[in-house]
Amino acid sequence: MPHIFLYGPPGTGKSTIGKILARYLKLPLIDLDRLIEKNAGMPISLIIEQQGELMFRNFETSTLKALADETESVVALGGGALLRDENRLFVESHGKVILLIAKLETLLERLNQDSMKRPLLSDDLDGKLSSLLAKRYEHYASFTNQVYVDAKTSDQNALQIQIVLGRFHLSAMGEYDAIVRDHGVDQIGELLKSRGLHNPVIVTDENVAKFYAEKIMTSLRSADMDSHLFTIPAGEGYKTLDTVRQIWHAFLKTGLDRQGTVIALGGGVVGDIAGFAASTFVRGVSWVGIPTTLLAMVDASLGGKTGIDLSEGKNLIGSFYPPKLVLADLQALKSLPETELISGLAEVVKHGIISDPQLFNLCTRGLDWVKCNLEEIVKRAMAVKIKIIEEDPYERGFRATLNLGHTVGHAVELVSGFRLRHGEAVSIGMVAEAKLAERLTVAGKGLSEAICEPLSELGLPIHIPKELPREELIRAMRVDKKKSNGVIRFALPVEIGKVDLVDVADLEMALED
């Protein structure tokens, strides 16, 4: 089983961060030094004192190699555990290594507070640590996945590691992993198998089917799974009860039962409708999301909201029904039309505004930069959504901040007859709502302008089209599900990185330019 190995100089917090990371990912933690001590029946200091450092390193190698038979775990390694080539070869072929790195001052501060004995650093901590770091400089620098742990809490560092790994576990509503993996669809058979998921029926749309259906069926076959494929027409216009009915009939034809699995392969429309069909068919079958648009990767596939539209409004019918796995394969973004990619970037900017100013700043670098750095963008944006839905899975409060831009956005999308894409409508909605926030003095002057900057850089629209009748937009906002006691609860930006929920009665104000 592939493990997650945490490595780095003494004092970087491998054990503490490892404990938190293991809890987040619902994996066991193995602290290699503690395991060596347990196996040897004595502390490391005594092994070194009685048998010498070479003997300790031999113990280290044999203990490490024995992990080949363990289930997937987070493994905190000793600070010199990978100095031996054979150890390094072993970990690199049995998982991923994350190097934790920090400034000398940070390490000294932490080690001085640490009650644990470090036999190789005793007597002269400052001098010995400095020379150890100098000696191992090239060694540590040679690891690709590095996380700087200075000035951050262990919790923040554990989150950063998840972003680097592209690996999250959600547990507030259902239990499932969300994984970002290049060429991940080639492993979907194994991923299903390892989760006890069987008899897959793939629901996809006509555009996505061309590129990925065969690939996924091949991967499923190689894991000894036969699958069925059902293709629906593409587009929001088909996120209807009529399409759900067709999907249910297709499920019946394939013989899908409660032991089976629905794979939703596609953008947010396919995810919403296939997830909803899965949640209602024979009172619920397992489903797996394979989002293929940027929007679906960073938003729609996460959080267990499934649903369909009515002619009166979007997503008016639906259920909370979490998937068993979300797999985002970055390769899918290669076939995605640029307009769809740009549409998805609106949700990325939104996540930046809600709680990740650094992500927001990355978006101001423009479309070309973003297109070359999609991996970082996807992982960071996913992390924002996951953090929010883990805190408030059923939208009793804080999760509603994710509706930023959506109250005006949904209305614009609907009244435009879906000529505007979801992300485009959200972009327009975010600007309109930022202006509303300024008018209500929820935000300071200039915020809407700041928000316009990355949106325009990325090629997103920022004005409500003049031809959309204002009365229809207001009517659409009133039907929106966020209405409570006649007022509409808006998620309004306060500053970049902070959003508040504010009740607004005068909806005209939200449409003023």
Ligand X SMILES: NC(=O)c1ccc[n+]([C@@H]2O[C@H](COP(=O)([O-])OP(=O)(O)OC[C@H]3O[C@@H](n4cnc5c(N)ncnc54)[C@H](O)[C@@H]3O)[C@@H](O)[C@H]2O)c1
Catalytic machinery residues: 283, 305, 347, 385, 395, 399, 403, 406, 410, 422
Asked if 363 and 423 count as a contact pair (C-beta separation under 8 A), the reply is no
The CA distance from 129 to 124, in Å, is 8
The CA distance from 207 to 465, in Å, is 28
Q: Does 279 bind ligand X (CB under 6 A)?
A: no
Q: Does 236 bind ligand X (CB under 6 A)?
A: yes
Q: Which is nearer to ligand X, 196 or 233 (CB)?
A: 233
Q: Which is nearer to ligand X, 336 or 473 (CB)?
A: 336
Asked if 276 and 301 count as a contact pair (C-beta separation under 8 A), the reply is no
Nearest approach, Cβ of 379 to ligand X (angstroms)? 18
Q: Which is nearer to ligand X, 18 or 267 (CB)?
A: 267
Among 332, 348, 442, 451, binds ligand X (CB under 6 A): 332
Please report how many Cα atoms fall inside a 13 Å half-sphere around the Cα of residue 179, on the Cβ side.
Answer: 18
Q: Does 461 bind ligand X (CB under 6 A)?
A: no
Q: How far is CA 98 from CA 81, 86, 105, 141, 267, in A?
A: 13, 18, 21, 12, 31
Among 98, 100, 263, 270, binds ligand X (CB under 6 A): 270
Q: Does 315 bind ligand X (CB under 6 A)?
A: yes
Residue with tokens 């100089």: 9
Asked if 296 and 267 count as a contact pair (C-beta separation under 8 A), the reply is yes
Segment contacting ligand X (CB under 6 A): 39-47, 111-119, 330-338, 502-510?
330-338
Q: Residue 171's CB: how many other CB atoms inside 10 A?
A: 14
Nearest approach, Cβ of 358 to ligand X (angstroms)? 22
Give me the count of residues in the chain: 513
Q: Does 293 bind ligand X (CB under 6 A)?
A: yes
The CA distance from 295 to 332, in Å, is 12
Q: Does 234 bind ligand X (CB under 6 A)?
A: yes
Q: Which is nearer to ligand X, 77 or 202 (CB)?
A: 202
Segment contacting ligand X (CB under 6 A): 21-29, 60-68, 232-240, 497-505?
232-240
Q: How many residues contact ligand X, by CB under 6 A?
A: 30
H-only helix segments in 335-467: 338-355, 357-363, 367-372, 374-391, 406-415, 422-439, 447-457
Q: Does 269 bind ligand X (CB under 6 A)?
A: yes
The CA distance from 433 to 456, in Å, is 16
Say whether 93 sits in a helix, a strand or coil.
helix
DSSP letter assigned to residue 153: -
Q: Does 235 bind ligand X (CB under 6 A)?
A: yes
The CA distance from 242 to 317, in Å, is 13
Among 31, 299, 438, 457, binds ligand X (CB under 6 A): 299
Q: Does 205 bind ligand X (CB under 6 A)?
A: yes
H-only helix segments in 136-267: 137-141, 154-165, 188-194, 206-208, 214-222, 241-254
Q: Does 422 bind ligand X (CB under 6 A)?
A: yes
Nearest approach, Cβ of 312 to ligand X (angstroms)? 15
Q: Does 197 bind ligand X (CB under 6 A)?
A: no
Binding mask 114-153 for ligand X (x = CB under 6 A): ----------------------------------------
Segment contacting ligand X (CB under 6 A): 66-74, 75-83, 167-175, 333-341?
333-341
DSSP letter assigned to residue 229: E
**Distance between first and last Cα of the chain:** 56
Q: Which is nearer to ligand X, 73 or 292 (CB)?
A: 292
Q: Which is nearer to ligand X, 111 or 296 (CB)?
A: 296
Q: Which is nearer to ligand X, 48 or 367 (CB)?
A: 367
Residue with tokens 């690939």: 215
Which residues in this chain contact ligand X in the complex, by CB under 6 A? Answer: 205, 207-208, 211, 234-236, 239, 266-270, 272, 292-293, 295-296, 299-300, 303, 305, 314-315, 332, 335-336, 340, 343, 422
